[in-house]
Amino acid sequence: MNLPELDQSFLRELVKASRQKHHHVKWVDRDGSDRVTVLSAAEVVRVNQLAQQAGISKAELLKQAAHLPVAR
């Protein structure tokens, strides 16, 4: 493929990400809407750690996270 190295690197990362197992977490948003968040393996490990520290489920963690103010 005759692409610049930056583009080739980008495409390699896309392929790598698509080969990883994704985890779906179903939760209810603060407005009552059903949501599904797709997490990578690394993200699900972190979410599990945070949920375990708080003593709540992954779904509840994301529901509570929806109330966090947007960073400026």
β partners of residue 27: 35
Strand partners, 26: 36
| Amino acid 65: pLDDT | 94
Bridge partner list, 34: 28
pLDDT at 41: 84
- Position 50 scores a pLDDT of 97
Q: Tell me the C-alpha distance between 21 and 40, whole Å.
A: 7
Q: Which pLDDT tens digit goes with each residue over 21-53?
A: 889 999 999 999 999 999 988 899 999 999 999
- Tell me how crowded residue 27 is: count the other CB atoms within 10 A of its CB: 19
Q: pTM higher than 0.75 for the full model?
A: no
Q: What are the domain boundaries of the chain?
A: 5-65
What was the pLDDT predicted at 6?
94
